[in-house]
Structure 1
């Protein structure tokens, strides 16, 4: 047993990278527990393991006292001096109490400790390995499924694919090879647990990096992704290199590059649009394939109104509002889409209300200026000039405040 135990410790250190000292420390603690359990001894005991010969020795540790109250924990000075003449009151004395048949128990305990350490080491290795793959994609093989998960074999571990992480209407059969996104790795009491996803937006980003070298190298940057897994996705791309067309680079010759991604996602439609630092241009691109006539921003919140031709209203909104919904996710703006005819009516109504407000304000202003001029006995020329200047300024302020662009026309008419 001794040779076998030492050989096992050496093999653990060589093959599994488990330090011999760590195993010996755990082994000694386990043997103390085994000794107390098998021999009903509750006193202070120590185990000494000879890592050269493989021998195990059990010692009972007692304190030297003048009067012994508990023989399991204390020893008289007279008895202590028989062991060593240098002992004094308060010293701790070790007495060997190794049972004759303890070798069998020690061997069984050593086996259990070694197996436990091997399991812990393997779990640690797997956890560290797959933690490095978190937020990356891997290819796995579908093994089985139950009511909660689909289990995907990733080689050293079986990952779980929950229902919310599956692509709707995608069928997974045993032995199917699929690419999955490592969304989370946990170190649980039962060992490492790897969670994977097929619906995560970043799965799309990693697929672009695999299929398109320019994206992997950073020449083409993916700015944002909006995805409804299994149905449609929008991807905003840009490039700092003016000689590179980011959209064309991602689509590839005859659409070959993007088609490879679409095939991997079982036919999920893909809209690749160009990102622009001008929000109006970016929002217009995001609503592709609809034509955008105008983008009117709400200055008080992150929202805008989009004006499109009447015949393209349904195209801009999309089936079940999908196109507008994905564009809003992609750009980060709340989007309200209006047909051109309806927006013209709204604009005309707003303009009429504004003109009425300006005229009303102008009439009040005229009265104020005339009253002030009469009090100061100013000439008619001075009064007329003051009226024109004051009323014009009022008009301009009102027009700017309401966000209209017809400032020059209204001022000239006035």
Structure 2
């Protein structure tokens, strides 16, 4: 060890935020392990790292005991022998004797290097972990590094993130070198370093995209109350304005539809329905089933369910292809929605009246 090594430790502390004292303690422990491994594990020793000059010394430690208590001469020394070294020694004192091997410098240098490299890796991992923890639930732009089976690896600069199949937009294809926007879904700390899971199918991606595109949302004038999404196909988003002069839907759509178009393009032509939020459940459910017209909504507050009646010719539109429109409306409002046509509702009402007469 030399002054250059100590200066390097100072630089590490300054540039990477690795505490020098902690690093030296770690090096001393590693050197102690290295000494015992190479020169006998039976030795009771202490390693001293000179913090000024960088010199390494190894000291054997023995406890002063009475002659009758002597058990191990490697670990203990008789009082009479200790007194020959110094008349000040008493029972229970520890006597140290330097036993630094001639070739220990090489082992020490190699061990210290390994410790420093390991600490640098750990520090860098911690920095990356902290950086991306702050970005959790945010959007970042990355580059597709490679695609292995159903997992896409995305280069985020200092680390690669993974996007599993369930977090991908169905039907979207990814190629190495392709720039994509991803939503940071989860940041985990593992033994191998931070693991970052990103998504393009999460509703949060749509929310963040609108925040970037729509100043009124970013400023908090227009609020996104809820989002229901089936990635790659369709999204419903409920918005509310805290300023009566601002139309929340118009703000999201933008001049000539420019704002929403940018988001649709980013999501691969995914359809986006923007509706006006209402605190009135019936009104909100009615809007959520857009573009279908609604004749009547009967709500059950206790069960949080609603019976919606639509014109006969609008029934298929209200339900949507494979039930998508009704399914997204239920997710958006968090209400159970039962949709019937006017004919179906009329037949049931008539049947109920007959039952009452018969009774």
In 2, Cα distance between equivalents of 1:185 and 1:62: 50
Q: Deviations over 1:201-249 (max 9, x none)?
A: 1111111101111111110000000000000000000012111111111
Q: 1:160 aligns with which of 151, 162, 170?
A: 162
Larger radius of gyration: 1
| Count of residue pairs brought into register by the alignment | 357
Q: Deviations over 1:244-265 (max 9, x none)?
A: 1111110111111001110110
In 2, Cα distance between equivalents of 1:82 and 1:166: 79
Whether 1:46 aligns to 2:30 is no
Shift of 1:30: 0.4
Q: What secondary structure sits across from 1:164 in the alignment?
A: helix
Shift of 1:141: 0.3
Q: What secondary structure sits across from 1:47 in the alignment?
A: strand
Q: What secondary structure sits across from 2:25 in the alignment?
A: helix
Shift of 1:149: 1.7
In 2, Cα distance between equivalents of 1:355 and 1:252: 57
In 2, Cα distance between equivalents of 1:127 and 1:300: 45
Q: Which residue of 1 aligns with 2:334?
A: 332
Q: Which residue of 2 aligns with 1:20?
A: 20
TM, length-normalised to structure 2 = 0.97
In 2, Cα distance between equivalents of 1:83 and 1:105: 31
Shift of 1:79: 2.4
Whether 1:181 aligns to 2:186 is no
> How do residues 399-410 of structure 1 correspond to structure 2 at under 5 angstroms?
none
In 1, Cα distance between equivalents of 2:302 and 2:218: 38
Whether 1:82 aligns to 2:77 is no
**What stretches of structure 1 of length at least 5 have no aligned partner?**
358-414
Q: Which residue of 2 aligns with 1:144?
A: 146
Q: Which residue of 1 aligns with 2:57?
A: 57
Q: Deviations over 1:255-309 (max 9, x none)?
A: 1100111011011000000010110000000000000000112355121111000
Q: Which residue of 2 aligns with 1:193?
A: 195
In 2, Cα distance between equivalents of 1:281 and 1:83: 95
Q: What secondary structure sits across from 1:144 in the alignment?
A: strand
Q: Which residue of 2 aligns with 1:386?
A: none
Q: Which residue of 1 aligns with 2:10?
A: 10
> How do residues 373-392 of structure 1 correspond to structure 2 at under 5 angstroms?
none
In 2, Cα distance between equivalents of 1:193 and 1:255: 38
In 1, Cα distance between equivalents of 2:225 and 2:4: 60
Q: 1:311 aligns with which of 310, 313, 316?
A: 313
In 2, Cα distance between equivalents of 1:83 and 1:73: 16
Cα contact 2:183–2:200 (8 A) shared by 1 = yes
Greater RCO (CA < 8 Å, at least 6 residues apart)? 2
Shift of 1:6: 1.0
> How do residues 105-254 of structure 1 correspond to structure 2 at under 5 angstroms?
105-254=107-256
Shift of 1:109: 0.8
Whose helix proportion is higher, 1 or 2? 1
Q: What secondary structure sits across from 2:73 in the alignment?
A: coil
Q: 1:257 aligns with which of 240, 256, 259?
A: 259
In 1, Cα distance between equivalents of 2:36 and 2:140: 49
Q: Which residue of 2 aligns with 1:404?
A: none
Provide the aligned C-alpha RMSD in A.
1.2
Q: What secondary structure sits across from 2:125 in the alignment?
A: helix
In 1, Cα distance between equivalents of 2:92 and 2:254: 84
Cα contact 2:238–2:274 (8 A) shared by 1 = yes
In 2, Cα distance between equivalents of 1:25 and 1:275: 60
1:41–1:343 distance in 2 versus 1, CA, 3 Å: closer
In 2, Cα distance between equivalents of 1:201 and 1:79: 79
**What stretches of structure 2 of length at least 5 have no aligned partner?**
none
Q: What secondary structure sits across from 1:69 in the alignment?
A: coil
In 2, Cα distance between equivalents of 1:185 and 1:61: 47
In 1, Cα distance between equivalents of 2:127 and 2:83: 52
Q: What secondary structure sits across from 1:205 in the alignment?
A: helix
Cα contact 2:45–2:58 (8 A) shared by 1 = yes
Shift of 1:96: 1.2
In 2, Cα distance between equivalents of 1:70 and 1:197: 63
Cα contact 2:288–2:333 (8 A) shared by 1 = yes
Q: Deviations over 1:143-163 (max 9, x none)?
A: 101124211011111101101
Q: Which residue of 2 aligns with 1:388?
A: none
